Amino acid sequence: MALSPAVTPATTSTPLAPKAWSVLIVSTLAFTVCFMVWMMFGVIGIPLKKSLGLNATEFGLLTATPVLTGSLIRVPLGIWTDRFGGRLVMAILMAVTIPAIWLMAYATQFWHFLVIGLFVGLAGGSFSVGTPYVARWFPKSRQGFAMGVYGAGNSGAAVNKFIAPALVVAFGWAMVPQVYAAVMLAMAVLFWMFSASDPSHRVTTNTSFMDQLKALKDPKVLRYCQYYSIVFGGYVGLSLWMVQYYVGEYGLEIRTAALLAACFSLPGGVLRAIGGWLSDKYGAHQVTWWVMWVSWICLFLLSYPQTDFTIQTINGPQTYHIGLNIYAFTGLMAILGVAWAFGKASVFKYIGDDYPNNIGTISGIVGLAGGLGGFILPIMFGAILDFTGVRSSAFMLMYGVVWVSLIWMYLTEVRTTEVMGSKSFKATH
């Protein structure tokens, strides 16, 4: 059987464009800053919850609001990137978020934060700009790695957990948006200085926004949307939720809680590049399949609530406790973060392989699905918590969502595909 074009020796030896590495590095840094800003409410939302008297559902809505606009803007941003080039679109996107980030420091009421958060959330759309922008600077055989490195900017969620709590404790929550606005301004300048543009990467099309959405009729696109709603949407949702989870479940102060939450956010971001390399080597299908199973196991264990039960023995009643201590919980979250880092890269390897001439639009649609997952999940986490009073219910919900993907993947891919060897990539491509 002939090798797939994605792994032929001729392809792997394709030389890189002179500016490829510069574009990759500065784009990754820009995405890291954008993601840091996007996840800001995951930390400052904790003192705001107390000062505004919010319940868990309202807290979920507060943290999720920026995710909404960051998700909805992804499809048009992908289209504009194809049409106008990633350098221009990324620079404009960062510039327009700066005033909103700064104004956040002067908000005083719940609706103020929701409205301003919608504009701050535009920063989250940067993923759909950088993915096609970076990918087109690399040959197909290395696009998985390149998109994985760029996607490592998700680690901005962890950077936020290092910086924001320190600022909150030292100066109050209002200092966080002021510092982040200054950082975004500096990053926008650096990006424009060290990025580059190649007119040949632009895709001339007169297709409308609604026409682009017709790609959702493709079963493969829908499947990739489902996968990404877990590995990215779940990542965003839990990144926003974890600090307050540690505070409530284990009684930690905000800096310690944020540090432990970073054990999930950091590997979930920086290891995405390894996921890209694995996807290039073994195929997107094989990596995604095992990611889903690891997620299933971790979420099953994380779902179990703190439980005390009493049984009657020959010596009288005996009470036992079952539940994850802080060390086991953090370890499982770290494993889940690693798995989702690999999964985020493998989903976009699917896109690079199946839609090489339409990466911007398809990545925008899939990114939209993932982002909407990140918007809906924190709200659902809060609503279920208010209803049940069980904090681990967030993981119960995610466990059910992973079940859907596993069944779907089995029915559409696995039944006809070998998943334990190098032949799986060839069988699906």
The one-letter amino acid at 197: S
Nearest one of 350, 356, 354, 414 to 148, comparing CA atoms = 350
Least confident of 11-20, 85-94, 137-146, 243-252: 11-20
14: in domain: no
Query: 3-state SS of 159-194?
Result: HHHHHHHHHHHHHCCCHHHHHHHHHHHHHHHHHHHH
10: in domain: no
382: in domain: yes
Residue 214: pLDDT over 80: no
8: in domain: no
203: in domain: no
Residue 421: pLDDT over 70: no
Which has the higher per-residue pLDDT, 214 or 263? 263
Q: How buried is residue 307: exposed, middle or buried, by Cβ count under 10 Å (0-12/13-18/19+)?
A: exposed
The token pair at 294 is: 């690891």
Range of the domain at 230: 20-198+214-428
Residue 286 confidence (pLDDT): 86
User: Tens of pLDDT along 223-242?
Assistant: 888 888 899 889 888 988 99
359: in domain: yes
Q: Distance between CA 345 and CA 362 in Å, rounded?
A: 15
The one-letter amino acid at 375: F
User: Tens of pLDDT along 251-271?
Assistant: 999 989 999 998 998 887 778
User: Tens of pLDDT along 158-169?
Assistant: 899 899 999 999
Average pLDDT, the chain: 84
The token pair at 157 is: 């969620």
User: Tens of pLDDT along 25-76?
Assistant: 999 999 999 999 998 998 999 999 989 999 989 999 999 999 899 888 887 8
> What pLDDT band is residue 428 in, cutting at 50, 70 and 90?
very low
Q: How buried is residue 407: exposed, middle or buried, by Cβ count under 10 Å (0-12/13-18/19+)?
A: exposed
Q: Distance between CA 346 and CA 426 in Å, rounded?
A: 15
Task: Tell me phi and psi for residue 391, to 5 degrees.
Answer: -65, -35
Q: Distance between CA 63 and CA 41 in Å, rounded?
A: 5
What is the DSSP annotation of 308-322?
A: EEEEEETTEEEEEEE
- CA 397 vs. chain centroid, Å, equals 18
- CA 166 vs. chain centroid, Å, equals 24
Q: What is the mean pLDDT of residues 66-89?
A: 85
Q: Distance between CA 24 and CA 195 in Å, rounded?
A: 8
Tokens 């941003």 label which residue?
A: 77
CB of 119 within 8 A of CB of 69? Answer: yes
User: Tens of pLDDT along 178-192?
Assistant: 999 999 999 999 999
Q: Using CA of residue 138, residue 139, residue 142, residue 144, what is the dihedral sign?
A: positive
Residue 410: pLDDT over 60: yes
User: Tens of pLDDT along 128-141?
Assistant: 888 888 888 888 77
5: in domain: no
Q: Distance between CA 131 and CA 154 in Å, rounded?
A: 12
Q: Distance between CA 307 and CA 305 in Å, rounded?
A: 6
Residue 205 confidence (pLDDT): 60
Per DSSP, 360 falls in state: H
Which of 204-218, 265-279, 376-390, 408-422 reaches the highest mean pLDDT?
Answer: 376-390
* CATH number of the domain bearing residue 95: 1.20.1250.20
Helices (H), 85-125: 86-103, 110-120
Q: Distance between CA 327 and CA 322 in Å, rounded?
A: 14
Per DSSP, 196 falls in state: -
The one-letter amino acid at 87: R
Helix count and strand count (H, E) for the chain:
21, 2
Residue 11: pLDDT over 60: no
Q: Distance between CA 377 and CA 297 in Å, rounded?
A: 20
Indicate the number of domains in the chain: 1
241: in domain: yes
Residue 6 confidence (pLDDT): 41
